[in-house]
Each structure stands twice: as structure tokens, then as C-alpha cells.
């Protein structure tokens, strides 16, 4: 009598990684928005490398980068519905200067 053949081990499921870079809502640059998740502080941060627009939101242990990005889109839509212009205050290219100093 021969040995019984063993069943093949099940293959491990390959988990697809979600994107960490997205398109900017303000400058429309492709893959310029980078998302960082600080799970210890429960804060998700998004920043555009082109126009330097930034957004922060609270996260949970289940949150992913796409959740922070969708929160940013929702917040921009909410501000636009209220009639608040472009969404969030932009960081001026004149950092460190007061408007009064430039005028005078």
C-alpha cells in the first residue's frame, strides 16, 4: 500500500495595495497629492506637492489613504455649497511677508 497524497496548501490571497497618491482638486496635477497616516495620533494628512494645499482629518485604525482623500473631497464640496470660494485658505507664495509690508 502506498501513502495517501497530501492536499496542496491553499495559496495566500494577494492583497491589493491602495494608492497613496491622488490628483489635486485645486491645481489638477496628476499624482501630486500625498497622503500620510499617523495611526498613533489618529490623524490623516494630505498635501499637494505642486500647490502645497493641505488637509488634515481624524482617522481610525481602519482608515486608509483613500478615506482621507474622500474626506477632503467631501469637505471641499461642503465649503463650496456654503459659497466659500475655493474651499480652503491657500498658502500664499509670499510666506513670511505681511500684506502691509508689501504695499508700503
> What is the DSSP code string of 20-75?
SEE--TTT--TT-EEEEEETTTTEEEEEETTT--EEEEE--TT--HHHHHHHHHHH
pLDDT at position 85: 55
Q: Which of 5-19, 29-43, 86-100 has the lowest mean pLDDT?
A: 86-100
Average pLDDT over residues 39-56: 93
CA distance 99 to 94: 9
Res. 104: pLDDT tops 80: no
Query: In the structure, what pLDDT confidence band is assigned to residue 47 with cuts at 50, 70 and 90?
Result: very high
Res. 93: pLDDT tops 60: no
Q: Quick check: 59 and 44 in contact, CB under 8 A? A: yes
Instruction: Give the count of beta carbons closer than 10 Å to the beta carbon of residue 72.
Output: 24
Kindly state the DSSP code that residue 99 receives in the 8-state scheme. H
With 0.95 as the threshold, say if the pTM is over it: no
Amino acid at each position: 500500500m502506498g501513502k495517501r497524497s497530501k492536499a496542496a496548501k491553499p495559496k495566500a490571497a494577494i492583497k491589493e495595495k491602495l494608492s497613496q497618491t491622488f490628483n489635486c482638486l485645486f491645481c489638477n496635477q496628476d499624482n501630486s497629492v500625498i497622503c500620510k497616516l499617523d495611526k498613533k495620533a489618529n490623524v490623516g494628512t494630505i498635501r499637494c506637492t505642486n500647490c502645497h494645499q493641505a488637509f488634515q482629518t481624524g482617522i481610525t485604525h481602519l482608515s486608509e489613504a483613500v478615506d482621507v482623500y474622500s474626506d477632503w473631497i467631501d469637505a471641499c464640496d461642503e465649503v463650496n455649497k456654503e459659497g466659500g470660494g475655493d474651499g480652503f485658505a491657500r498658502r500664499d507664495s509670499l510666506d513670511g511677508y505681511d500684506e502691509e509690508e508689501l504695499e508700503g
